[in-house]
Structure 1
């Protein structure tokens, strides 16, 4: 897999490796199929009141925890409550939820203050922080604390006694799991475990992983870099398992100089552009696409508002803005993730683009998990703080204002996000999006939010890219999905 699995709590952490761990161990109430339609997963059926404010959900038969006890509505309610304090869509839903109450062991009712269909969108969201259902006793863990018990009801059991951080994680088939009868389709349908055991191997070096695949030591390599493709063995196959791809982007620290100045943040965006860093990372443009839409290109809320700011580097414009802002060469620290094959070449190019525009830049190298820790530091760079971090989100995670973390502008409090932008207008507009009565209204509000994001220089996208996964001979049934899922996969001799 692409990065280290360091956090085993898929509600506390939005990291993709933690999400993929979550899909092995836990189940979800709903899921999206290959047509992007919401399908029931743990739910058998639901009913909606005539006024659209009351949803009654009934769980399907046969749901069992890995410890042999049945899944109940109390477990689900506790899981929704914990998730609703962490996930952006969960927080939005929490703000319009009056009650969540059990009816019996398999039925629960959600009562909303306003009618909205976003409840099903939120319960079915595939990435970011999916609504993984946990036992009540586990879900009662405060969302700010990592869980310590990993009992799920999904198709695989996490072998906690075999977990070696930085080395491997092991999962075994849950013999009592009852799949849905529908065929597997993206994240929906029957989750049939066709192998007895999965070993998630940690290999930080992309070439080492590729050589292990060629020699038959591993069966699945999540991401193969374009420049390593010629080294693949002829009997190895590649598969683009993800039609939507990832948005790469960077976000500023708004609390500390010099990026506490909006003009300096704008200057950085004008300095960077998209072509140079993407070309350095992916080579041929067949592996990436320029895209300045905050909510993704080809997705429901794509907008061209102010995208010229991010698409093409303009160092002269950047220098003029720096002069206007009174920038005096204050150092900026750019966090450089070195262990992610899909991002490791981007930070050095960003640093060079910024230097050419007149910025003083320090490149601070680290692995992804260290970056997640360091970006929590709100102090100045002299005290271990930072100025810019780079990350990637699956396009299904950024496709609207309710789920896009990179637009979060709620300050440095509990509802804030790394960078700690404080723009109340974005908070207000996001609430307006939630309550908007028509799709036309939502599209208008999303475009307005995009303009504010660029005007305030909260963050900027670096375009999109799709990743190729490599499979050993005999590996079949890998599903096209926005996450790496391992049900439906079989391994021949």
Structure 2
């Protein structure tokens, strides 16, 4: 037996013993209703936000992001920069351990970063600038760069999907195109696979071996993460009324995303609090599959811009409560430094479906079946699908609305097969939070074909503009490039933005919650 394996087993046994709550005290349990079930548990393999949220219980990241979007060291104690910005050394904090008791080493970090970068746009940009990534010692990771890449900490601490999590080496070497199914992280909670009930329950247990970062800003994903509950139970409740009743009765503690129509009822319940969760919001997204007809034709995608009114979509999601949505939304989050409204006027105002029908015919649409994936267990996303199905049918498109749960959508959207072999033409989602702040992380604007996000569009010009943004000299130059990116986006139309939605969250008897998305450290009984 290798020494590391032996020591790891011994430490793991000790950690396991420590992790068990005292028999003299009942376990403190936080009961939470998430946005959906966790169909995929690998937060690198999928961009599903529910899996990202799961990932932040189980794993940790090298850097964290504060609520004002600054990047701070998290798993690293710090870093040094030499050779005019082309040599970085990242030193891991002492005392980091995985849930099996093994120490976290630089040898775990290197394949973890490589696997993450193979699936993530920002991570791939970092690796494109990297000449050598290696473990200089057990605690020191070395990046030797081809050219300066000052955004290195931001790439390794990004809060959007995919998550830049650090896995044990034996899992991190897994082919990026294959899912990791065994969850061993170094985060504040352990994933209890033995208690998981698909479609009903996911359980996390406090990891007593977790050492919070000393100092730093305890906000968003950064700083010390303290755990005050022995268990976190994700209870799956697809029916909003059931979740609302459970929260009102005190059967659950926290409902991640109550539907807008129930907010008024919940506000009147004693002890229930309603707050905003992600100040950056989520941009509704009608995503095209660019591999197969009819949406392999950019002219057909462009024609459909005239069928989409963002106000109609956001009203379907959140009604007339304007504090919960915005229109004139492009590819970058509203009210952020790089946001622009260039070209968004095409998505607002009265629609002329007969005109769109003529433009579709002129572009070459021949009545092909359009398979549209509709996640019925996500009310805010289901609303997008229903409005779109009606609009496309009015334009003369042959819509086949396929309803299922979100987990099934997540699995099916990864298929590159034609529709008669289980593929798809359109799916809906929200591009959330800091994913949409700049071209580094924005999933939907990539035009790199097989390496792009689900839908796999090709656009050499979008790729060129994105590369220009990385070397822009100042904010003014970045803004100018982002305006050009958005103009090109509305020519290529890899997806259609449907407006920005700002979800609320509802809870009772809790305090200390971080903003950005559902996280479970610092949360304690009120």
- The CA deviation string for residues 157-210 of structure 1, in whole angstroms up to 9 with x for no partner, is 111211222111111111121112335212111100011111111111111111
User: What secondary structure sits across from 1:48 in the alignment?
Assistant: strand
Match of 2:253 in 1: 219
Answer yes or no: is 1:210 the counterpart of 2:247.
Answer: no
8 Å CA contact 2:112, 2:169 repeated in 1: yes
TM-fit CA distance, 1:345: 1.6
Answer yes or no: is 1:268 the counterpart of 2:301.
Answer: no
TM-fit CA distance, 1:391: 0.8
Match of 2:370 in 1: 332
* TM alignment of 1:115-194, pairs within 5 A: 115-182=148-215, 184-194=218-228
- Which consecutive unaligned segments of at least 5 residues does structure 2 have? 1-33
Match of 1:243 in 2: 279
After TM superposition, the runs of 4+ consecutive aligned structure 1 residues lying more than 6 A away are none
Match of 2:23 in 1: none
* TM alignment of 1:25-424, pairs within 5 A: 25-182=58-215, 184-232=218-266, 233-284=269-320, 285-315=322-352, 317-411=355-449, 413=450, 415-424=451-460
8 Å CA contact 2:328, 2:345 repeated in 1: no
Structure 1 residues 237 and 456: CA distance shift in structure 2, 3 A: same
Q: Distance in 1 between matches of 2:113 and 2:290?
A: 32
User: What secondary structure sits across from 1:144 in the alignment?
Assistant: coil
Normalised by the size of structure 1, how large is the TM-score? 0.95
Q: Distance in 2 between matches of 1:445 and 1:172?
A: 46
Structure 1 residues 349 and 399: CA distance shift in structure 2, 3 A: same
- Which consecutive unaligned segments of at least 5 residues does structure 1 have? none
User: What secondary structure sits across from 1:345 in the alignment?
Assistant: helix
8 Å CA contact 2:160, 2:441 repeated in 1: no
Match of 2:14 in 1: none
Match of 2:522 in 1: 488
TM-fit CA distance, 1:359: 2.6
Normalised by the size of structure 2, how large is the TM-score? 0.89
TM-fit CA distance, 1:442: 2.4
Match of 1:469 in 2: 505
Match of 1:7 in 2: 40
8 Å CA contact 1:282, 1:288 repeated in 2: yes
8 Å CA contact 2:448, 2:459 repeated in 1: yes
Q: Distance in 2 between matches of 1:327 and 1:177?
A: 57
TM-fit CA distance, 1:313: 4.8
Structure 1 residues 268 and 313: CA distance shift in structure 2, 3 A: farther
My pick for the range that moved more, 193-202 or 438-447, is 438-447
Match of 2:513 in 1: 478
TM-fit CA distance, 1:228: 0.9
- The CA deviation string for residues 47-71 of structure 1, in whole angstroms up to 9 with x for no partner, is 1115111111111122111122211
Instruction: Give the length in aligned residue pairs.
Output: 488
- The CA deviation string for residues 215-236 of structure 1, in whole angstroms up to 9 with x for no partner, is 1111110011111123322321
